[in-house]
Chain A
Amino acid sequence: MSTASRPSSKPAPRTEPASQKKIRVLTLKLGLDGHDRGVKVVSRALRDAGVEVIYAGLRQTPEMAVEAAIQEDVDGIGVSILSGAHMTLIPRVLELLKERGAGDIVVFAGGIIPDDEAAELKTLGVAEIFGPGTSLATIVDFVNSRLRK
């Protein structure tokens, strides 16, 4: 689902400055677990903050995630995973993005990810990992600062 709630009804100028172009983010649940509370709350918060959010839903494979990200021409992918399969699935998302020449798409993640594994994922190229208790403002700020081209 995509949301386009521009403040003005005027069509956006074709040459709008990059800084005013809406940030587009794909959010999804990677792997087999169905715990979607977090990803939904974050998606709504981003949408309320003016980000265009495409929520792809549950049980996405790395292949599905990367395909959707490229099709939707997003600036970032927000991955939620609580099943413990993050060390298998998230690196694969990064690899596939590179293979498809979309390595500039920023990947960030949330869920139950132990500190040492979070550090490892960051060295592999995940921009940020938001663990339990992260404030929505922190995530919104991150998206606004890191994904704005």
Chain B
Amino acid sequence: MAVRSKTSPKDSRAGQAPKPASTISGVPVEALYTPEDLGSFRYDEKLGDPGEFPYTRGIYPSMYRGQLWTMRQFAGYGTAEETNRRYKFLLSQGQTGLSVAFDMPTLMGYDSDAPVSEGEVGRCGVAIDSLQDMEDLFAGIRLDQITTSMTINSPAAILWAMYIAVAEKQGVQPAQLGGTLQNDILKEYIAQKEYIFPPAPSMRLVVDTIVFASRHMPRWHAVSISGYHIREAGSTAVQELAFTLADGMAYVDAAIKAGLDVDEFAPRLSFFFNAHIDFFEEIAKYRAARRLWAHIMRDRYHAKNPRSWMCRFHTQTAGCSLTGQQVENNISRTAFEALSAVLGGTNSLHTNSMDEVLALPTEKAAQVALRTQQIIAHETGVTNTVDPLAGSYFVESLTDEIARGALDYFKRIDEQGGVLACIENGFFQREIADAAFRYERELEAQERIVVGVNAYQEGTRAEVPTLKIGFETERAQAKKVRALRERRDGTSVRNRLTELQAAARGQDNLMPVLIDCVKAYVTEGEIMATLKEVFGVYREPTIL
């Protein structure tokens, strides 16, 4: 077979070799890939059939022919009642799973009437202070009929306890509940910075949820190990993948150390990746993620159950790729990103709304975002064939390249003493900040073009309708939590908090006592304040 040289494809139009190019993350890309690039490529070793080790081609044999990905739009704003109405609307529009966005006070463990909550209540998600709000959030929605994802980290165990308690009131047992808790504290220290406690007690809380899920909630994913926020903070694709899988290994280590067998919990670990704008790089990243994780779980942790080897993941299109200029263009960006996630075999997907760079999405914008997924699913035909890009000289080369880059990072992380050491010494934070700055400089130098931002600009920005959250939400929510404190049984609250404090000082799993607390309508802020007394709070090394 004659193999063409890939080095200098000639083009009669210019008579020149093509200009050097790289992915948005800086991985060099050739103009042409040939069989030469694949070298001694072995199908069984690199790919395997879909549903077979190492799952490069997907974790299920028939992928979307069997079942489409879950269309799971992240939503939440204002009060629980308002968000409940949005959920019912989304479900009526064909969405197949719920995903709760909490406001900043909830994410940071404060009640709505706390002084630091002022101005923040209900603004970037729904305000939840107590079980009462959680009951309102899911009013009229049967929790055994849907699956729910909750994007919360430091206080994740508390919000999960509230969900379990709401279900119980509906007559639904914990074992019947399906869903995902983000609960990935490591990436908070690394990227999103919504940490509260120091790493050690934070890891204990995560392990407690993993143990509780493995014993009582077989349909629940206790942790969603997230690269999304790492990427949004400015990392490259390789960093996103490498740091996320490294975090995954840290959770596996911690759960094993707590006495679990790897196959007891690994089948319920799930991941969450970003779908950025560089189309093939993203597809390569998802494929590399599955291959790497399969090897890690089988070869490093000796997991026996094939389900422990599978990298299941949710994907969200890249918020950081959206532009405030010419916001309608964001519909196109999101569509390309979503398509890469589908071609990369995602298990569930959130598509961003065009206006999210300006505010929380309007109902109209959220609907267009959901419709984008439905168009990919039902009109484009891309779901008919599993992993249609397999065997592409380019995609396979890029998949290998991304995997190599991740392996190199694993080595550097291990050499520094692991994930927690790299958080403390600022390695991750510095790597990400450097990448973010490099990218911004490339934009400044016009080495990269973002339409409407540094090319094809328009003079003035058109008026875009945005969702407004008024101050009345904050006042109403603060009033509601104060009224609750008046109404509930104060003795029971004090007793539960005393029990919580004792449990936090000890070694026992905290989930049962947290469930007791929320059932007594102890607020999130009260629980977190008690835990802070025992665990302390974290201050990060400030790295510019």
Contact = CB atoms under 8 A, between A and B. Distances in A.
A144 B402 CA distance: 41
Interface string B451-483: 011100000010100100100000000000000
Interface residues of A, number: 36
Interface in A43-67: 43-45, 47, 53, 55, 57-58, 61
Given A41-B437, A83-B104, A115-B461, A31 B119 contact: yes
A96 interface: no
Interface residues of B, number: 46
Q: Is the interface of B mostly helix, strand, loop or mixed?
A: loop
Contacts of B24: none
B234 to A, nearest CB: 5
B436 interface: yes
Interface string B411-442: 00000000000000000000001001100110
B228 to A, nearest CB: 13
Contact of B440 (A55, A87, A136): A136
A100 B357 CA distance: 35
A112 B467 CA distance: 13
A124 interface: no
Interface stretch (A7-15, A18-26, A32-40, A71-79): A32-40
B147 interface: no
B194 interface: yes
A110 to B, nearest CB: 11
A137 B444 contact: yes
Contacts of A131: 324
Contacts, number: 107
A141 B453 CA distance: 18
B541 to A, nearest CB: 10
Contact of A136 (B233, B323, B324, B444): B444
B323 A133 contact: yes
B323 A132 contact: yes
A135 interface: yes
Given A58-B540, A135-B443, A37 B232 contact: yes
Contact of B358 (A31, A85, A114, A136): A114
Interface string B102-126: 0011011010000011111001100
19 contacts: A31-B119, A31-B120, A32-B105, A32-B120, A34-B193, A35-B232, A35-B233, A41-B437, A44-B433, A44-B437, A45-B440, A53-B544, A82-B124, A83-B124, A84-B119, A84-B120, A88-B120, A133-B323, A137-B444
Interface of B: 104-105, 107-108, 110, 116-120, 123-124, 188, 192-194, 232-234, 320, 322-325, 357-360, 433, 436-437, 440-441, 443-444, 450, 452-454, 461, 463, 466, 469, 540, 542, 544
Given A40-B433, A40-B544, 8 more contacts: A32-B120, A35-B232, A47-B544, A57-B542, A84-B120, A84-B123, A84-B360, A133-B324
